[in-house]
């Protein structure tokens, strides 16, 4: 078979995904820069946002939502607690789990950071039609479901 004909770049799905990956990489770098003013990084923002939405979540649940290991949370959370952004309180029913809460300061930082992120996204995607964005969202959520399903199947 001819090599040229089978080059991955000729496959629409492949090309499309490579573009998605590069865009993500760039957006992440840009977000990192934008968040520097608040002295936090994207992983911190991920945590803050989840505490903002799901107050009292456990470290385990948080790690699962963020698709990272538990040890990652064990490294990041104490340092965020020292910075007074979050608070960890033991669950009385189950003494193993630590439940996580935003402090007042943490809530302020979260809102500021979300504003920065929202602004960055709105600015960068300004030229994309809303319908296209919504179609992409639907598409991506389906892909996420597929990948999560594959993950569970591998256990």
Residues forming contacts to its own copies in the complex (CB under 8 A) are 8, 11-17, 19-30, 33, 67, 114, 117-118, 121-122, 124-125, 127-128, 130, 132-137, 139-144, 146-148, 150-151, 154
Q: Which of residues 74-103 bind DNA (CB under 7 A)?
A: 74-78, 88, 93-99
Strand residue runs (E) in the chain: 86-90, 98-102
In the complex, minimum distance from the CB of residue 91 to DNA, in angstroms, rounded to a whole number: 7
Distance, in Å, from the CA atom of 153 to the CA atom of 146, rounded to the nearest integer, reads 11
Cα atoms found within 13 Å of the Cα of residue 28, Cβ hemisphere only? 10
What is the torsional sign of CA 50, 90, 87, 80? negative
Q: Does 68 bind DNA (CB under 7 A)?
A: yes
**Site residues for DNA per CB under 7 A:** 41, 43, 58-61, 68-78, 88, 93-99
């Amino acid at each position: 078979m001819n090599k040229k004909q089978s080059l991955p770049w000729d496959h629409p799905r492949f090309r499309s995904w490579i573009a998605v990956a590069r865009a993500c990489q760039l957006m992440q770098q840009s977000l990192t820069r934008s968040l520097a003013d608040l002295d936090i990084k994207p992983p911190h923002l991920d945590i803050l946002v989840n505490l903002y939405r799901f107050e009292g979540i456990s470290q385990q649940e948080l790690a699962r939502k963020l698709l990272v290991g538990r040890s990652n949370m064990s490294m990041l959370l104490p340092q965020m607690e020292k910075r007074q952004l979050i608070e960890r309180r033991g669950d009385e029913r189950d003494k193993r789990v630590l439940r996580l809460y935003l402090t007042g300061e943490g809530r302020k930082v979260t809102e500021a950071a979300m504003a920065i992120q929202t602004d960055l996204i709105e600015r960068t995607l300004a030229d994309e039609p809303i319908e296209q964005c919504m179609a992409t969202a639907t598409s991506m959520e389906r892909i996420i479901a597929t990948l999560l399903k594959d993950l569970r199947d591998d256990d």
